[in-house]
Structure formats: structure tokens, C-alpha cells
Structure 1
Amino acid sequence: MAQKTPWLYSIKTRLIVSFSLVIGVISVFIYIFFPYKLEQQALQLLKARTHSIAEITTSYIEKPFAKKDFQTVENSFDGVKQNPDLLYIVMHNERDDVVATFNLEKAEKAHYNTIIEQKNISLDEGVYKLRMPVVYRNQNVGTMFMGFSLVALQANTKATSQLIAFVALGIFVISILFVGGLSTIFTQPLSKMVQVVNAISKGDFNHRVNITSDDELGYLAKSFNRMVYNIQRINSTMESVNQRLQTQNEEILEQKTRLEEVNLKQEKTYETMRRQEARLMAILDNFSGEIWSIDRQYEILICNKPFQWSAEKRGAFIGMGDNALDDRQGPAYRKQWKKLYDRALANERFTQIITKEEADGKTRFIEYLFNPITAYNEVMGVAVLGLDITRRKEDEAEKIRLNQELNEAARRAGMADVAASVLHNVGNVLTSVTTSVSVIEQTMSNSRMAGLYKANDMLRENMENLAHFIANDPKGKKLIQYYMMLEDQIKSEQDVIFSNLHRLQDKVNIINEVIAAQQSYATGSMLSENLYLPQVIDDALRLQGDTTDRHHIELIEEYEDDIPEVPLQRTKLIHIIVNLFRNAKDAMKDTPMDEKQIKIRLNRENEHLVLRFSDSGCGIEPENVERIFNHGFTTKATGHGFGLHSCANYITEMGGRMWVESEGLGKGSTFVLQFPLAAKQGQETPEIIDEEV
């Protein structure tokens, strides 16, 4: 009788034991490896996401943080606070003081500042802690601490681990229960399953246990296949991530190409700027007066040839880039001009007349207009315009001495007034020009192109293993976001440069128009000539430059068709219109911005042309309507009562009439000028009073 093999040593037992061990190993492997793998992947994704959030947040707040605008810093938290996992944000300044927070109580409870890892992160007590320095213009201005909850991550990881544990345990239990009765037919399926396990361990997740029976072994095979399917899905997700990284790598190369195109466009922009600068300098060099500007260190930013000629007469050969207070100009000169520059650098706009003794003993009077140059609510420098007013001073002395030449003296005073207006308007325009140049210069000095070059160098160094660099290297992971952010910043720089270039072009055109109008007026004759009034009005308004825009005044012109020419004196008429325009502007000083309006109407009434000049200003009291043209009468704190009196005299000299209409205070006023269509002979010429310049 054949001896039975002890059950302990039987094939069935060994099969059962072996099968149980295999399934147990598989179950333990699944229970330990895959939850750990999933947890590590989830943690890596969390680290990358939170680090990206921290970098983006610091890029938004670095400028207001450096300027200590902590309210804007806290307002910038609104976007990141939408993240449900965010627990707290704490901002420290460079002295390690808390200056801005979100959920400070939670931060202190989590001991937010006890981060000891090299990468400024910490995982404990269910909180992912992160520390990020705040850098502004290559200077560390503070530190940002952020905390993210790990509750959701841990819950998901725990649920996944439990699911895998249940699956592994189920496989193991089912295998033990059914292997005893099916050991004979189980040998072949078990072999197949071992083969599948070996294939899966090598990374081939396409294998399945091919058992189609409906018994427990078939159920075990289906459960095992479902487990392999889940593992394959996870592996597929990882492959998808790798594919996305490859796509992002291609996008980086595309971004690089686009940035190179942007660089080419910027070079063209710089060339356009150089041409515009040459045009501007040509205009400034042909201006009769001195024009220059300085920065806060008194360095000359721009100057025209009359300024250089004036400096040469003092023995100082200076120009752009030199110090305006050069030692070669003498201590007295430096002391006097430093005081003037400092007044303007204190944001004071003023005019200063300086006398200069020539070699022949003649005294020259130079009137200088000092305009502070402001940008970003800060005085960046000073623009100065100098106009030789010696002729005006001589005319004033001549008027005092020769009263019989009053008309000629009045004309010269009018010319000086227009010259002062031109000086004022060109000064304002030059201030805008200098501001635009300063903004462009600041934009170029702060350009992020240096960062682009560094990023490109990093790509070139890792070009042979670019995919690995992008996927695994911390710097590579940040590179995509950096390029996307860099594109927006460079586009923003371009917008600023093009905007200021257009503004430069507009201001240069304004200077041309104002100078042309001033030259036309300066060469005008005191003789009557047939004039087309709409054209004369436009010439007079052109002398005001951009006054209407700066003071937000709506200008309305209503001219009747077929206006005939009338015999008038151009110089006097322009003087009148300029004076009325200034009075209207001053009358609307306290008028709401959206209600400021000047309306000029011109129409024919019988044998006269009637010009009505209306404003929406403060109006005139009834008792002052008849007195407003009297010599010395004024309602202005700084007025002298000469302007309207001289206008009335000029109108009478040209055979016309002038009066004012107003319904009272706050109702505005209308000045009416009536001109005969034909010249009247034998008009009496009244006394002409000097007008303040």
C-alpha cells in the first residue's frame, strides 16, 4: 500500500502554501507600494502647486510690499484666498516684523515660522508650511509664510489605501478559501497569474489573467484584473503628465521664438525713438530761447544749442550728461542756480528774471520758467526755458519815457504777452516731453530682457536633456511659468514705450504749431488788413497750446457760413481774443470739471460782424457790468485792471464796439465784439493802458 504523503508535504499543501504566499506577497506589495507611491505623487503635485502659488503671489505684491503699501498687499491676497486648502498667509518685513496677514491665529497655532527644511517647507500636524522670500529689484525686502491644509490630501490617501487594502485582503482571503478544492485545476491558472504578476512588475500593465470561469478562481482573476486596471490607469496618468511636459517643452521653444520677434520689434522701436529724438532736438535747437532739463543730481538730461552758446560765454563748455553746476562756472553762479534748481525740485513752478551784463556794458534780461518734472507722483527733475526779454524791458522803459508812442508800446507789450504765453505752453509741453522720455528710460532700465537672456542660457545648457530638465529640475519646472509671465511683462513694456512715443510725437507737433503761431503774431503789422475772422481766432487759440485739454475745457466754435473779410489789425485782434480766453479760463477756476465750456459764435448782423465769447464761469455782478472795462478795475486777487481796458481801447481804435452780458454770479458771461463790415474813418483813438505781462 502506497504510503500517503503527509498532508504537510503534499503537492496540494505546497500549492496551497505557495499560492497563499504568492498572493500574500502580492497583497502586501499592493498594500504597501501603491499607497506610498500615490501619496508621494500627490505630495509632489501639492508641493509644485503651492510653490507656484507662492511665487505668483510674491510677484504681484513685491512692488507694493517694497513701497510698504501693506493694504494693497493684503488686498492682493483675495485671489489666492479662493484656494480651499489655504490656511494662512503671514508677511514679515526685512526686520522680521509681521506687516500683513491672513488667518494669523491659525498661523500661530501651526507655528508657521518653525520651518527647518532646506527648501523652506515643512510637513507636520496636517499642515504644509512654505516660506518664500520677497525680492524686489534684486533686494530681499521681506518673507512670506504660507500654510496649506493636508486634510483633503490625507483623506484621499487614506481612502485609496483602504480601498487597496480591501482589494488585497479580498484577493488573499478568496485565494485561501478556494485553493484547497481546486488545487488540480488551479495549477495552470496560478502559473498564468504568476506570469502576469512578473510582467506587471516589469512595467507591462497590458497583461491580464485569462480565466473566464464563473467560479471563485474566475472571480479572483477578475478582481486581480481590476486591480491591474487601476494600476494601469495610474500609470497612464503618469504617462499623460509626461506627454504634457513634452507639449510644454514645445511651447517653451515657441515662446522663445516669439520673444526673439519681440526683441526685434523693440530694436525697431529704439530706432524710431532715436529718430524722434533727433527731430525733437532739431526743433529745440531752432528755438530762440534756452531750453534744458536736469535730474535730481543736477545732471543735464537735454539741452538745445542756445543753452550751450550761453554756457560757452561763461567759459563753461557743457552739454548733455554734464553737471549743470559745473565748477568752471564760478561759485557765485553755482550758488545762485542751485537755489533756483532746489526750489523747482521741491515741486514749485515759478518764473525768474535774471540780468546779465554783456562785454559792451549792455544789460540783458533773461526770463526763466522753471517746471518740475513729475512721474509716479515724484519730482524726477526740472525743465527750464529761458527767453531773452531785454527787448520787452527796453519797450517798457520806452513807454514810460515816450507816452506819445503809446500804441507802439502797447503792441510790444502784446507781443511780449504772447511770447510769455508761448514760453508757458512750450514749457508745459516740454514737461510732458521730458516726462515721457523719463518714463521710457525708466521702462528700459527696468526691462526684464536680462531675465530672458538668463532663461535662454539655462535652456541652452540643458538642451541635450531638455525633457528631463523641465520635468524634474526645480528650475526647469518654473521656467514655463516664467516665460508666460515674461511675455506679459515685455508686452506691457512695449505698450508703455509706444504710448510715450505717440505722446512725444503729439507734443512735438504742438511745439511746432505754437512756435509758428507766435512767429506769425510777432511779425504782424499794426496796419489794418482784410482778415478772415475764423482763421484769426484759430491762430489766437493756437497760442494757448493745450490749455483747453489741461484745464478740461470744452471749446465750441459756431461760425456762420460765408463770413466776409473785414478790415482790422491782426495783432490787436489776436491780443483781444487771447485776453478773453484767459479771462474765461480764470473765471471757470471753481467750475466743476464736466461743466467748463467756452463757446465762440460768429455771425453777420446787418452791416456788422458780431463775435460772442461765452464761458460757463463765475459770472459778473450786475453793478460791475458797466465798470468792468474801466482802467484799474479788477475782480482778481492778482489782477491790475489793464487787460479788458486795453481790449476796449483796441476795439474802439478799429471802429468797433465791445460790451459784456451776464445774468449774475454763477451764470457765466458773454463778451460781445461788434465789427463794421467797412472801415470807418476818423475814429478817435482813446488812451491805451499798459497790460500786465
Structure 2
Amino acid sequence: ERRRRAELETVEIRFRVATRAARAGVYERDESGGTVWWSDTMNELYGVSAGNFQPTLSGWLELIHPADRDGARAAMTAAMRERKPLRTQYRAVRPDGSIAHLESVAAVVGDPAGEGVRMVGIDLDVTERVAAQRREVLLQQQLRDASRQAGMADVATSVLHNVGNVLNSVNVSANLVADSLKRSRAAGLTRVVALLEEHQGDLGSFVAHDARGKVLPVYLAELSRHLSADNSNALQELDALRGNIDHIKDIVTMQQRYAKLGGAAEPIDVGRLVEESLRINASAFERHAIEVVRRFADVPQITVDKHKVLQILVNLLRNAKDACDAAGERERRVTLSVGRCATGVRVAVADNGVGIAAEHMSRIFTHGFTTKKTGHGFGLHSGALAAKEMGGVLRVESPGLGCGATFVVELPLGPPGNAHG
């Protein structure tokens, strides 16, 4: 008997040490709820002491946060009624005003006396776990915001590059018009008018007999041809100038349209959005002599955040241009494809550039990873995040170095959680 008592004391000591170390309180209640037993650790979890608190179901529930009380009571009642295990989480308000996040796990067992059932369980302090989860959510939100800002910066940088390229064309046209005016033979017409005014009384005789007058018709004909050519060239350059200015206005308008934090899903024409992303990169593609091949199939509109899709496409097109540049002097080509896929709509950006090494394929979307000397390793990562947020996916295919690469973004017909046919 003495040995058995010693063994029980040893078990009890181990039990107390284990529950205290795990911050786990043990409780037991009967079916009526009038009688509740709990361990010393339960007192610590709820911030009470055996001297000032007598555990009953009603007293226990009073320690639970008012916003969580009804849910905790309902979970306990349902577990007892249905004879099912309990697992619930709630907040406890301690007498000093501090909040503890607790997780209660219990089993419903038959009473040894055969009178009803009992609930035997433990309460775990998960306050640190909840705080860690909140920090993780906050960090994920910060990462999404940073990714979105990086995407906006990519779009803005492309806009600035293209505006700069178009401004170069504007400058060329303006200089050509200025040079044309400087070289204009209009001054010769002024001298002819002065000569005619000088001989307006004997104009016929002057033209017929004076050496200067005899060449005047031929000179006027030649002057007319030159002035007409100058005028035509000036008009052509002015038309180009106006077109380039309109191009700048279009680029700036497009940036203003998308330079805002996204979030609002709206129906978009995928082919049209792909064309807009091409226009943002048009000058760079033209300057680097990159051929663009379009393979657009008829696809339905998709309801997504337009800014996020543009962010992805602009970055993919810029990467394709860089890949073609890195491949050397061979013919440069980027093929854009739009079509249906099992989950919705598929857009592919394929280049015949430098390609991707096999050992880099698994890391290509990793934050901070880049194969470019001037890259920041954020564009593809943020693009993959943006696609995932819209319920889609961004993936890559490449046979290897020197064989080009194809980036594919697949997007659902509607936002995540919506059913679409």
C-alpha cells in the first residue's frame, strides 16, 4: 500500500511538473456544470487563486471575454450533448485586465458511477502563438504592399524609359524643322520681290531684255520647287512631332490610370490589356530591334485587378527584352500568346533570348534571386505573388541556356471564391 501511494505521488508530481512546464491547465466538469475541478495551473492561466475563486461553470464563463463567451458556452454544451471531443479557442480576461488567448481541448467520458458523463480536458496558453500568427499576417501584408509598390515602380520605370525614348524622337523632329527653316530659300523670294518692285514700271522690258530679268522665271520655278519640298518636309516632321507628343500623352494617361493601389476587380479585355503593356514597352522594343509576334485567340473577359495584371505583363516584357539583348546580335523575337486554359485565360510571353539554366529554374520566383547584374530580384517574385492573390499562377518554361524562355500567367475568369463557367 505504501509503495502504491509513493508511486501515485510520483505520478502526480510528474503530472504537475509537465503541465506547469507546458502552461497547460487541467479541468474536469460534470454534466450539470455545477461541479468543476481544475488544477493550480488553471488558476495561473486565468489569473486567479484558490483563495479568491471557486471554480464553477458560471464562474469560469465569467472569466471568458464577453465577445467569446457565448461561443465557448455553445461549444462546451454541444460537446457534452453529442458526446464528441471539444476543441475551441477563446480569450480570458484576467482580474488585472490582461488578455490571455487559450485553447481548450477535452474529451467527454462516462462517469465512473454510471451517472451521466464528464468532460475532462486541458487549457493551453496560446497567447504567444496568436501573437506570432498576427505578426506573420502583418509581415505578409507588408510583403504584398512592397510587392505591389515594386510592381508600380516597374510600370513607372518603363513609362519613364519610353517617355525618354519618345522625347528623343521629339527632339530629332524639332531639330530637323529648325534646320529646315534655317536653310530655307524663302529669303530668295524676298530678294525677288524687291527686284520686281524696283522694276514695276518696266517689268515687261526688264524680264525680256535685262540679264537678271531673263533668269527670273527659271529662278522662281526652281525656288517654288524647293519651297514646296521644304514645306512638305516640315509638315511631315510636324506630323511626327504631333504623333510623338500624342504618344507621350497616351503613356502618361495610361500610367495615371494604373498608378494607384489596386484591389478592385473589374472586367477586362485580356488582349487589349496585353496591347497596352506592349505600348508601354514599345519604344524600348523598337530601339532594340525586337520583333513582336502576336498570337491572340478569342477569350472571354476576366474579372481581376487590372493593375496587378499590367504589373505582371510589363515586367515579363521587360525581362524578355533584356533576355534578347543578352543573347547577342542574333535576330530578336518576342511572341505573345493569349488563349484559354483549364482554369480560365492564359497569357504567354516567349522570347528567343539567353534562356535559363536548369539549376536556376526552381529559384526563378524566389525573392532576391536574379541572373541580371542590375536586377533586384523582386519583379518575378512580386508578379508570382500578384498572380496568386488573383487566384492564378505565374510559371516558367525554358529548355536551357541559349534556348529562350516562356513565362506563362494563368488567371481565373473571376476573383477567387467566385464560380465561373
What interval of TM-score do these two structures reach, taking the shorter chain for normalisation? 0.5 to 0.7
Shift of 1:600: 1.2
Q: How many Å separate the matches in 1 of 2:328 and 2:377?
A: 26
Q: 2:237 is matched with which residue?
A: 500
Q: 1:643 is matched with which residue?
A: 379
Q: 2:401 is matched with which residue?
A: 665
Shift of 1:643: 1.5
Shift of 1:494: 0.7
Q: What does residue range 597-612 of structure 1 map to in structure 2 within 5 Å?
A: 597-612=333-348
Change (3 A) 1:597 1:476: same
1:628 touches 1:644 (CA, 8 Å); kept in 2?
A: yes
**Structure 2 gap segments, 5+ residues each:** 1-137
Shift of 1:402: 7.5
User: Taking structure 1 as the reference length, what is the TM-score of the superposition?
Assistant: 0.37
Q: How many Å separate the matches in 1 of 2:288 and 2:141?
A: 40
**1:408 aligns with one of 145, 152, 160:** 145
Shift of 1:669: 1.6
1:617 touches 1:666 (CA, 8 Å); kept in 2?
A: yes
Q: 1:170 is matched with which residue?
A: none
Q: Give 1:493's aligned amino acid.
A: D
Shift of 1:663: 2.7
Q: 1:453 is matched with which residue?
A: 190
Larger Rg computed on CA atoms: 1
Q: 2:221 is matched with which residue?
A: 484
Change (3 A) 1:404 1:591: closer
Secondary structure at the counterpart of residue 556 of structure 1: strand
Q: How many Å separate the matches in 1 of 2:360 and 2:327?
A: 20
Q: Give 2:274's aligned amino acid.
A: I
Q: How many Å separate the matches in 2 of 1:458 and 1:506?
A: 41
1:523 equivalent to 2:237? Answer no
Secondary structure at the counterpart of residue 148 of structure 2: helix
Shift of 1:615: 1.5
1:615 touches 1:670 (CA, 8 Å); kept in 2?
A: yes
Q: Give 2:383's aligned amino acid.
A: C
1:552 touches 1:593 (CA, 8 Å); kept in 2?
A: no
Q: Give 1:666's aligned amino acid.
A: G
1:97-125 CA distance string (max 9 Å, x none): xxxxxxxxxxxxxxxxxxxxxxxxxxxxx
Shift of 1:578: 0.5
1:513 touches 1:542 (CA, 8 Å); kept in 2?
A: no
1:588 touches 1:615 (CA, 8 Å); kept in 2?
A: yes
Q: How many Å separate the matches in 2 of 1:593 and 1:533?
A: 32
Change (3 A) 1:532 1:450: closer
Shift of 1:533: 2.0
Shift of 1:606: 2.7
Secondary structure at the counterpart of residue 573 of structure 1: helix
RMSD, aligned α-carbons: 3.0
Q: How many Å separate the matches in 2 of 1:416 and 1:665?
A: 29
Shift of 1:451: 0.8
Q: What does residue range 71-150 of structure 1 map to in structure 2 within 5 Å?
A: none
Secondary structure at the counterpart of residue 340 of structure 2: strand
Change (3 A) 1:440 1:490: same
Shift of 1:583: 0.6
Q: How many Å separate the matches in 1 of 2:326 and 2:374?
A: 16
Change (3 A) 1:528 1:509: same
Q: How many Å separate the matches in 2 of 1:605 and 1:417?
A: 27
Shift of 1:594: 8.5
Change (3 A) 1:406 1:590: closer
1:538 equivalent to 2:300? Answer no
Q: 2:306 is matched with which residue?
A: 570
User: Taking structure 2 as the reference length, what is the TM-score of the superposition?
Assistant: 0.59
Secondary structure at the counterpart of residue 625 of structure 1: helix
Shift of 1:498: 0.6
1:556 equivalent to 2:293? Answer yes
Q: 1:510 is matched with which residue?
A: 247
Secondary structure at the counterpart of residue 618 of structure 1: coil
Q: How many Å separate the matches in 2 of 1:408 and 1:627?
A: 22
1:510 touches 1:545 (CA, 8 Å); kept in 2?
A: no
1:632 equivalent to 2:342? Answer no
1:589 touches 1:617 (CA, 8 Å); kept in 2?
A: yes
Secondary structure at the counterpart of residue 544 of structure 1: helix
**Structure 1 gap segments, 5+ residues each:** 1-400, 683-693
Q: How many Å separate the matches in 1 of 2:327 and 2:225?
A: 42
Change (3 A) 1:631 1:459: same
Shift of 1:534: 2.0
Q: How many Å separate the matches in 1 of 2:267 and 2:202?
A: 84
Q: What does residue range 334-483 of structure 1 map to in structure 2 within 5 Å?
A: 404-466=141-203, 469-470=206-207, 473-483=210-220
Q: How many Å separate the matches in 1 of 2:341 and 2:371?
A: 32
Q: How many Å separate the matches in 1 of 2:265 and 2:273?
A: 13
Change (3 A) 1:413 1:660: closer
Q: How many Å separate the matches in 2 of 1:506 and 1:420?
A: 22
Q: 2:130 is matched with which residue?
A: none
Secondary structure at the counterpart of residue 335 of structure 2: strand
Change (3 A) 1:461 1:532: closer
Secondary structure at the counterpart of residue 294 of structure 2: strand
Q: How many Å separate the matches in 1 of 2:339 and 2:235?
A: 43
1:514 touches 1:545 (CA, 8 Å); kept in 2?
A: no
Shift of 1:601: 0.9
2:393 touches 2:411 (CA, 8 Å); kept in 1?
A: yes
Q: Give 1:518's aligned amino acid.
A: Q
1:132-178 CA distance string (max 9 Å, x none): xxxxxxxxxxxxxxxxxxxxxxxxxxxxxxxxxxxxxxxxxxxxxxx
Q: Give 2:316's aligned amino acid.
A: L
Q: Give 1:538's aligned amino acid.
A: E
Q: Give 1:515's aligned amino acid.
A: V
Q: How many Å separate the matches in 2 of 1:614 and 1:447?
A: 49
Q: How many Å separate the matches in 2 of 1:594 and 1:636?
A: 20
Q: How many Å separate the matches in 2 of 1:417 and 1:589?
A: 19
Q: How many Å separate the matches in 2 of 1:475 and 1:594?
A: 61
Shift of 1:592: 7.5
Shift of 1:514: 1.1
Q: Give 2:398's aligned amino acid.
A: S
Q: How many Å separate the matches in 2 of 1:657 and 1:417?
A: 20
1:613 equivalent to 2:322? Answer no
Shift of 1:421: 2.7
Secondary structure at the counterpart of residue 406 of structure 2: strand
How many correspondences in the alignment?
Answer: 281
1:591 touches 1:617 (CA, 8 Å); kept in 2?
A: yes
Q: How many Å separate the matches in 2 of 1:535 and 1:501?
A: 29
Q: Give 2:355's aligned amino acid.
A: G
Q: Give 2:188's aligned amino acid.
A: G
1:525 touches 1:570 (CA, 8 Å); kept in 2?
A: yes
1:588 touches 1:617 (CA, 8 Å); kept in 2?
A: yes
Change (3 A) 1:413 1:637: closer
1:406-431 CA distance string (max 9 Å, x none): 22233233323323332332233233
Shift of 1:545: 5.0
Secondary structure at the counterpart of residue 293 of structure 2: strand
Q: How many Å separate the matches in 1 of 2:412 and 2:378?
A: 25
